Chain A
């Protein structure tokens, strides 16, 4: 598989993962571009025997997203002193009820990430755990906790 084929096949997956992870559609667009630029530089390191292209691209995307979070935290620390943060365009995707979208927005980034990997991208526990750098059991625990939190948020909204 060439890099172009991999990018074409998994662009939506990477974009969806980053959208849910960051809860910021515009940031996700930018980060997706950065992800594929970085993936192109690192493409020679990709080993099909160690995992699928999608898993590898998600690992690259996660690194890019973490860099983004760190820089955002530094920026917001500076700017919150001068002005309150602006509301951002979430847009978790078509087909979501407003209540569920609101509940998703209330999850932490870490919780949204595991939901995105396990449910949106439909990765198994092993691959998702590899991206997150944790054990599969821990990954499943995090997913259950996030789903329970979503359920409670929807129950309260109802």
Chain B
């Protein structure tokens, strides 16, 4: 018998399951209709994995912006406390509790710096106009205004003189023009210097009175003229100091760009978060490869060894009749 005939005879074999076996399998199959849907880990993973990935992506993409905000707030706080011990305002609207040191009737030079962020260039222009109106309404004036725009950004630097009595109101109203990014107060007491000048003037006036009591001579006249000029200069200087102290100087900075973040942050494009995430993913992948490859190699060897052993046992088992 050829191999073809052999195969043909083998293929012609008809082998049917006996009726009792068929009935048994039908009963088994009938039970399948009553079975409730099975709880499987695969079904759970199909839902859980996308949810976990979405949460992870949210965490990865939102964390850098939080860090940036934290840096900005810390910078603000550091600037405020280091320069003038004024409570650092958080970004937001105006601070009505702006701390202006009490003068107690003393002569003081008062200076303040206020930086505001305005959303749009048009807003910067309007804020400049509004700041000048506020200053004028409080009896003040501006000594310099510098404004400019570049692309979608604009900024303006204003130096305002506001009567010392209205500085608190001025700061409160100016701070409402935008979001405060930084503020600084500088107070310099001039009273001690003025008192010293007063004492010097009194001493010079006594000398002048004594000279006038002497018989007039050319030397005496020259000396009287010198003392008189000296006293007048001191009095002018004192008057100038008092006039200057009557006005507070407010440096107002308006800008559309964030000033508080480090300069490098301004260069970040919209895909910076993705780049950071991919960088960390790459670092993680390198670590995973470095640690995982030997483990995977060992596991693969163990798997191959187990499979080979199982096949040999199986072959031995099936080598019998």
Contact = CB atoms under 8 A, between A and B. Distances in A.
A72 to B, nearest CB: 9
Interface in B142-174: none
A92 B15 contact: yes
Contacts of B21: 11, 15, 29, 32-33
A52 B12 CA distance: 23
Nearest to A15: B17
Nearest to B20: A29
Contacts of B58: none
A137 interface: no
Given A4-B32, A100-B9, A113-B318, A147 B3 contact: yes
B46 interface: no
A70 interface: yes
Given A69-B317, A100-B6, A151-B3, A7 B25 contact: yes
B13 A96 contact: yes
Interface hub of A4, A23, A43, A69 (most chain B Cβ within 10 A): A4
Contacts of B2: 151
A95 B10 CA distance: 8
A50 interface: no
A40 B15 contact: no
B10 A11 contact: no
Contacts of A37: 28
B314 A120 contact: no
A137 B195 CA distance: 111
Contacts of A122: 11
A109 interface: yes
A135 interface: no
Contacts, number: 119
Given A23-B321, A70-B317, A95 B9 contact: yes
A3 B32 contact: yes
Given A43-B32, A119-B7, A107 B13 contact: no
B7 A11 contact: no
Q: Which 10 A-B pairs have the closest CB atoms?
A: A110-B318, A4-B29, A93-B15, A16-B15, A93-B13, A15-B17, A3-B32, A109-B318, A7-B29, A119-B10
B320 A29 contact: no
B26 interface: yes
Interface in A32-74: 32-33, 36-37, 40, 43-44, 66, 69-70, 73
Contacts of A119: 7, 10-11
A64 to B, nearest CB: 13
B210 interface: no
Contact of B318 (A4, A69, A151, A158): A69
Interface string A111-155: 001010001101000000000010000000000000110110011
Contact of A151 (B1, B14, B311, B315): B1
A105 B13 contact: no
A37 B17 CA distance: 16
B29 A40 contact: yes
Contacts of B196: none
A12 B9 contact: no
Interface string B14-48: 11111011101110111111010010100000000
Contacts of B35: 40
B32 A40 contact: yes
A110 B313 CA distance: 12
A108 B28 contact: no
A70 B320 CA distance: 12
B264 interface: no
Contact of B40 (A16, A29, A44, A113): A44
Contacts of A19: 15
B321 to A, nearest CB: 6
B319 interface: yes
9 contacts: A23-B321, A33-B24, A70-B317, A95-B14, A107-B321, A109-B318, A119-B10, A120-B15, A155-B1
Contact of B25 (A16, A36, A97, A108): A36
B319 A110 contact: yes
Given A95-B13, A147-B3, A147-B7, A108 B318 contact: yes
B321 A4 contact: no
A42 B170 CA distance: 80
